[in-house]
Chains A and B, each alone.
Chain A
Amino acid sequence: MTLSDFNTLLPLIVLTVWACALLIVDLFIPKGRKGWTALLAVFGLALTLDLTLAQLGDSGAGFSGMITLDGFSTFVNALLLVSAMLAIGLAYGYVKRMGLERGEFYSLILFSVTGMMLMAQAADLVIVFLALELLSIPLYVLAAFARPKVDSEEAGLKYFLLGAFAAGFVVYGIALVYGATGATALSAIVSAVAARTANLTLLIVGAALILVGFGFKVAAVPFHMWTPDVYQGAPTAVTAFMAAGAKIAGFAALLRVFSLAFPSLAADLTPILWALSALTMVVGNLLAISQTNIKRLLAYSSIAHAGYILMAFVPFGSQEVQSVSVAAGLFYLVAYALTNFGSWGVVIALEQKEGRGLEISDYAGLGRKYPALAAAMTIFMLSLTGIPPTLGLVGKFYLFRAVMAGGFTGLAIIGVLTSLVSAYYYLRVVVTMYMREGEPEALREPWLNFTWGLTAIATVVFSFVPSGLFDWASQAVLKLF
């Protein structure tokens, strides 16, 4: 182990130490002043973000090739850190209002982000597994954080049981890949396949099991059953974090593992991924139509978006298209993360105690009473549908273009058609806000307003200048291959 090993992991180490220190410092912060804990957590994230951005353009490997640092990991890490900050911005007022104000909330978020970042930097399947658990275990606790509320406990238990089940698949998949190639390092797996010393049957089964495990994590159909229940039951601020963070990390790991270690399996896996992506888009969007609860609606919407992002993997076997489609996938993740936090922020603003204010009918009259909030929600709904002028449209455009370049026109058509279907339920929210009479109660809380305001502006502004962001994503990916 040399100093350069630690350099590759510097942001992660700082964040881990910070999270541990925060647990101790929190003991001395009196009850009712947990705002300080939140502030310190955001400060730690900002410090880590600074260190991450300082690594921009660096690349290297550390710890005997188990950890890698490249443009891709830096991009994903920066996105994850910003997501965590947005999540804390949403959570601060929410946990106070719901009587959940306990200091460990923020430490748990930091630990979970550490796991997500480790996932983006993992170059060895063992690290992938460790990172998966490090990101999941705090999330299980966070989902049940509103204890003794039964909904939240149930959400926590369901998430835990299915998450552990998924982890079992991932571990067994890793064991089979290890058996097939004699290695767990991604580079060694590729060279074993190239040297024809690998047992291909075992390798395919192993890769498929890993795919199943991650399918659960990113909520792809048919492994999505837990999503609506968990998203509905968990405290809303946690749901926002879970929906964005776990998805970004899961897709980052999938991208790296599948495009680096298993390109030789593309012929076998592409049809599976194609079906998975198409099924996820169709089922997610169709089931969302009948929802009346906004949290469940957004949960199904997040399933549908997992399908769109999965599209980016389908061409992972062809060298030319691969980098473009992965860049499009990254761009879509950014668009999704921004929109996701914004829309959950609006949900939090309207949520009352005892789970009231969560039906779509509760949004009636929002346009008259709280015009800014309604305008922001409209922007998010348009972005999730993919209507200009929003980032969602640009993301879908890049994605569909990449998929078509890979020769999967059928999949792109399914994507467009399901987007049309999704317009029905997203616009229904907008119609309810502006066309129906009602007396909604919304909360004005400075950090919350700041978060949804910022994400709404970013969603619109970035859609006019998407090329900068897309170029960054492309450059990040270029170093990957």
Chain B
Amino acid sequence: MVPEIYYLVLSAILFTMGALGVLARRNALIIFMSVELMLNAANLAFVSFANTYQQLNGQIIVFFVIAVAAAEVAVGLALIVAIFKSKHSIDVDQMSSLKG
């Protein structure tokens, strides 16, 4: 049996990687994937805490998060496709028609 703390450390590492990815990467798709990584890091934390407490709550919450992430994907990819059609690029550094 792997100790709980390993899962938590892994989840913290994943979350940090996700957050850094959002801040450092410039491709909208990669940023979006990093956000998903953050959500899944939270899922891992939920499941391992649920295991610690021997509760189902934490595991059920994961389903909620997954469902919401799917809804976000639907809207997010649509937005990315729309902007690719008009700008032929999804580099966020080129999203500069708004400035001031």
Contacts and interface: CB of A to CB of B under 8 A. Distances in A.
Interface in B30-75: 31-32, 35, 38-39, 41-43, 45-46, 49, 52-53, 55, 57-58, 61, 64-65, 68, 71-72, 75
Given A161-B35, A175-B49, A168 B42 contact: yes
Contacts, number: 126
Contacts of B35: 161, 164-165, 167-168
A401 B6 CA distance: 50
A469 B53 CA distance: 46
A441 interface: no
Interface stretch (A36-44, A145-153, A330-338): A145-153
A88 interface: no
Given A153-B86, A160-B75, 17 more contacts: A126-B64, A133-B68, A140-B79, A157-B83, A157-B92, A164-B72, A167-B39, A171-B42, A174-B61, A175-B11, A175-B43, A179-B45, A179-B52, A182-B55, A229-B98, A232-B98, A292-B100
A192 to B, nearest CB: 11
A11 interface: no
B42 A172 contact: yes
Nearest to A299: B100
B24 to A, nearest CB: 13
A153 B31 CA distance: 17
Interface size class of B (residues with CB under 8 A): 35 or more
* Main secondary structure on A side of the interface with B: helix
Interface of B: 8, 11, 15, 18-19, 22, 28, 31-32, 35, 38-39, 41-43, 45-46, 49, 52-53, 55, 57-58, 61, 64-65, 68, 71-72, 75-76, 79-80, 82-83, 85-87, 92, 95, 97-100
Could you say which of B61, B75, B98, B100 has the most chain A C-beta atoms within 10 Å of its C-beta? Answer: B98
Given A148-B85, A150-B87, A157-B95, A137 B38 contact: no
B38 A168 contact: yes
B22 A161 contact: yes
Nearest to A293: B100
B65 A171 contact: yes
Nearest to A231: B98
A150 B43 CA distance: 35
Contacts of A130: 64, 68
Contacts of B32: 161, 164
A224 interface: no
A107 to B, nearest CB: 14
